[in-house]
Structure 1
Amino acid sequence: MEKSSEIEIDKFYVDLGRAKEKSTENIIIIGDFNAKIGISPVQIGSVIGRYGSGASNERGEKLKQFAIDQELTILNTMYKKKENHRWTWLSPDGYTKNEIDYILSNKKHYFTNIEVLRKLAFPSDHRLLRGTIIINERRKNRKKYTQPRPILQSIREQKRYKNILQEKLYKHESTDKEKLTIQQLYDILEKSLTESIIESQVSKPKETFTLSDNIKSLISRRHTLQQKSDRTIEEKIDLKELYRIIPRIIQDDYDNYKLKRYEKCIEH
């Protein structure tokens, strides 16, 4: 992504989001995003922690937004490390060091550590990034075993299921069942049951946290000031203030978003 255009980067995140939607419930994304997350003074939910390196850049903001939208944790930001233990890329002249490789996951509790392998020498300008995972699959205890949630959770869905199933079975009433094998009869019943369940489920749109227009405007203003080499005193003060308030406003917006979701859950 180092020489990619902004359009290519946007397309990359769209494609990555689509790939994530098609994946299983355990998501782990590892790679060179060529993005600088920077140091966040406050933790943003379970997505971005308080630990990082240097200042964020525009591509870092896009990575943050992607993680927030997809409800993924940027695991590098969750572990406190020395500065020399964080950077993952070294410039050709040997002077610039940046943290641009990240591990993202929707299973934060699986990870116990994220670290850079500093003493492993190989021909690359990147250092290897390793995540430590502990998966403890306990045997189910009969006393603690709970009944799984039903596929059809609402009374409305259950009624729809019964009606749809009756209609499907009614269509086969005229079929001469004596000419069918046991397997063919079973296939008809299985197909009717499966299709009825799918058709009776009421899909609910997935809510995700997105940055407000106000936040996006402040981030754009910060980016503009970051690019200026001849800032005035007022602009320097403005930039310092933006670094301070943006994470706090994002945290407040995220807290309000969670509160509204809790209230909706209580209502239903």
Structure 2
Amino acid sequence: MLIYKLQIMGLSKVRRNGFGELRTPRGLTFLYSGKQDEEYCYAPTNLASEEDKEDFYRALKLTLKKIRQQNIVIVMEDLNAKVDTKNNGRQRHMGIHGMGVGNENGAKFLEFCQDNDLTIGGTSFIHGDHHKYTWNSPDGVMKNQIDHLAISSKWRSSLLDVRKRRGANINCDHHLLSRRRGAT
């Protein structure tokens, strides 16, 4: 976080239940929120059942309904969703700078963003694929953009950039995805 001069960083899959706050020796604050006494929910893979996918998006939608309308909503997660570059009629919710070919999860994520007026930040900025893919297979062959940051569409102009940060040591097969925010 300090190396990349990030002021805010969202982490998923940290496996910390409950709600709380931790302070690091360097003065950083780590806020976490999860279900009490349960595992975090994870976005189902593309091979998961339709019922599991519907349950995930239903739970996510219920969570968003609890947020006051004047708040900025940011959804950051490994969504296992590949969105493509075709945004005809969907310009408010995605740009044309996605990576690769979309999948069923990508279509569901885009539909969720449309239903909840969110914009997929990683599709809105021109970058080479090496700054877009957020996951690569253990054998290094497959590279996909499946981790996403979506923001309330009315606040999308506050994003100056969303991209993968190469070289971040996060001990994972996913890469650090960061955003740069403009003045609001």
Using the size of structure 2 for normalisation, the TM-score is: 0.69
Counterparts in 2 of 1:22-171, with a 5 A limit? 22-24=66-68, 25-40=71-86, 42=88, 44-106=90-152, 107-136=155-184
Provide Cα deviations, 1:48-106, integer angstroms capped at 9, x if missing partner: 11111111111111011111111110111111110111000011211000000000111
Question: Kindly tell me: are residues 88 and 110 of structure 1, through their superposed partners in 2, closer, same or farther at Cα, counting changes over 3 Å?
Answer: same
The one-letter amino acid paired with 1:87 is: Y
Measure how far apart 1:41 and its partner are: 5.8
CA shift at 1:43, angstroms?
6.3
- 1:5 equivalent to 2:5? Answer no
2:90 partner SS: coil
Asked whether the 8 Å contact 1:43–1:50 carries over to 2, the reply is: no
Closer/same/farther in 2, CA of residues 70 and 60 from structure 1, 3 Å limit:
same
Measure the CA separation in 2 of the matches of 1:122 and 1:108.
27
- For the aligned residue pairs, the C-alpha RMSD in angstroms reads 1.6
In 1, Cα distance between the equivalents of 2:52 and 2:159?
A: 31
Structure 1 runs not aligned, ≥5 long: 137-268
- Matches of 1:52 and 1:124 in 2, distance apart? 22
User: Percent identity of the aligned residues?
Assistant: 29
Q: How does 1:172-251 map to 2 (within 5 A)?
A: none
SS in 1 for 2:122: helix
Shift of 1:7: 1.0
Look up the SS of the partner of 1:87 in the other structure. Answer: coil
Instruction: Please say if residues 121 and 162 of structure 2, whose CA atoms lie closer than 8 Å, have aligned partners that are also in contact.
Output: yes
Provide closer, same or farther for how the CA distance between residues 84 and 55 of structure 1 changes in structure 2, counting only shifts above 3 A: same
Larger radius of gyration between Structure 1 and Structure 2: 1
Between the aligned partners of 2:52 and 2:137, the Cα distance in structure 1 is: 23
Take 1:53 and 1:80, find their aligned partners in 2: how far apart are those partners? 11
Bigger strand share:
2
Runs of 4 or more above 6 Å deviation:
none
Structure 2 gap ranges (5+):
1-43
TM-score, structure 1 normalization: 0.48
Q: Is the 8 A contact 2:135 2:174 kept in 1?
A: yes
Paired residue total = 136
Separation (CA, whole Å) in 2 of partners of 1:72 and 1:41: 14
Distance, in Å, in 2 between the alignment partners of 1:42 and 1:112 is 22
